[in-house]
Amino acid sequence: MKNIAVIGAGTMGNGIAHVFAQNGYQVKLIDISQASLDKGMATIGKNLDRMVAKERISESDKEGTLNNISTFNSLSKGVSDVDLVVEAATENLDLKLKIFKELDEICADKTILATNTSSISITQIAAVTSRPEKIIGMHFMNPVPIMKLVEIIRGYSTSDETTNIIMELSSKLGKTPTEVNDYPGFVANRILMPMINEAIETLYNGVAGVQEIDTVMKLGMAHPMGPLQLADFIGLDVCLSILNVMYDGFKNPKYAPCPLLVNMVMAGKFGVKSGEGFYDYSESRRAETVSKQFR
């Protein structure tokens, strides 16, 4: 595999494009919004600058990485002649099904179609295509350039060949691929999201404040980041979407999102990306907080 298309230039999409490009792959980054593409490329540039400053890569490595990425507003142009497509659009089932139907029609028969979904069924996505054996989940962790794990999720019809190719590819990116089966939330979010939701419930019930809850989990459980700060970093809207997927999938009340989380999302308080969540992320504080994630 040499040619990769990444759909979506947001936090996850630009991170995935960054990692592939830094490892020598030709990457086509696709987004319908030119502003998103510009912002995504700027983010990649800033993250590479940090790596240069820390002497993890050279200036020529940075330039080579950027030169390996081309941007497209058109899906049909962006996915022509690629070996792999990694979809990293919004965590919305209808949108993902629409994208995969289009990809199935446009892409060459050889092309493997992967999704970075953090909770949605791979089997359900594969069912709208004529190549279910070539549909697989590649759930990267945020921030993608730093985090080593990639959850590799097999759908009901995903072939051994496809799985082996993606496992090997993930290893070549310097990641640690871990194969899991196709159930709502997979492993990472099935365990993480109930913990975050319980932390929000603890705040909602007045047991302790935001900083106190995060301090207990950081100092008492050796977590590098408290659950409320982590929720802000992930995006409260994303957390809510994942919990809803698991609640719908399992019909178990333990996955029902806390009313406080629902209200915050309705109020537009998504965390870091909106400037406010459980913590304040004004422009000066936002830059400081995001910078710490790459230290």
27-48 pLDDT per residue, tens: 999 999 999 999 999 999 999 9
The answer to the question of whether 142 is labelled as a binding residue is yes
Q: Are 69 and 99 found together in one domain?
A: yes
- Catalytic residue flag (residue 18): no
Q: Are 194 and 165 found together in one domain?
A: no
* Token pair belonging to 211: 């900083």
- Among 139, 197, 241, 274, the active-site one is 139
Residue 95 belongs to some domain of the structure: yes
| CA–CA gap between residue 54 and residue 295 (Å, rounded) | 9
- Among 189, 197, 241, 274, the active-site one is 189
Give me the CATH number covering residue 25: 3.40.50.720
- Among 119, 151, 241, 276, the active-site one is 151
Domain containing 277 equals: 190-290
Q: Are 175 and 282 found together in one domain?
A: no
Q: Are 149 and 230 found together in one domain?
A: no
Q: Are 138 and 31 found together in one domain?
A: yes
- Catalytic residue flag (residue 276): no
Residue 295 belongs to some domain of the structure: no
Q: What percent of the chain has pLDDT over 90?
A: 93
The pTM of the full predicted model, rounded to 2 decimals, is 0.88
295: pLDDT strictly greater than 90: no
Residue 202 belongs to some domain of the structure: yes
Which of 160, 181, 202 is the endpoint of a domain? Answer: 181
Residue 99 belongs to some domain of the structure: yes
Residue 231 belongs to some domain of the structure: yes
Q: Are 113 and 145 found together in one domain?
A: yes
pLDDT digits (tens, 9 = 90+) for 242-264: 999 999 999 999 999 999 999 99
Q: Are 250 and 271 found together in one domain?
A: yes
pLDDT digits (tens, 9 = 90+) for 147-169: 999 999 999 999 999 999 999 99
How many independent structural domains does the chain possess?
2
pLDDT the model gives residue 102: 97
The answer to the question of whether 54 is labelled as a binding residue is no
Name the more confident of 22 and 288: 22
Size (the chain), residues: 295
Q: Where are the alpha helices (DSSP H) in the chain?
A: 11-22, 34-53, 59-67, 75-78, 93-106, 122-126, 160-172, 188-204, 210-215, 221, 227-234, 236-250, 259-266, 283-292
The answer to the question of whether 198 is labelled as a binding residue is no
Mean pLDDT of 205-224: 98
Q: Are 199 and 125 found together in one domain?
A: no
- Among 14, 36, 68, 118, the active-site one is 118
Q: Are 172 and 234 found together in one domain?
A: no
The answer to the question of whether 9 is labelled as a binding residue is yes
The answer to the question of whether 8 is labelled as a binding residue is yes
CA distances to 39, 84, 115 from 31, in Å: 11, 16, 15
Contacts of 80 (CB under 8 A, 6+ apart): 106
Q: Where does residue 102 rank: exposed (0-12), middle (13-18), buried (19+ CB within 10 A)? A: middle
Residue 29 belongs to some domain of the structure: yes
The answer to the question of whether 11 is labelled as a binding residue is yes
Q: Are 170 and 246 found together in one domain?
A: no
- Catalytic residue flag (residue 189): yes
- Catalytic residue flag (residue 14): no
| CA–CA gap between residue 5 and residue 101 (Å, rounded) | 16
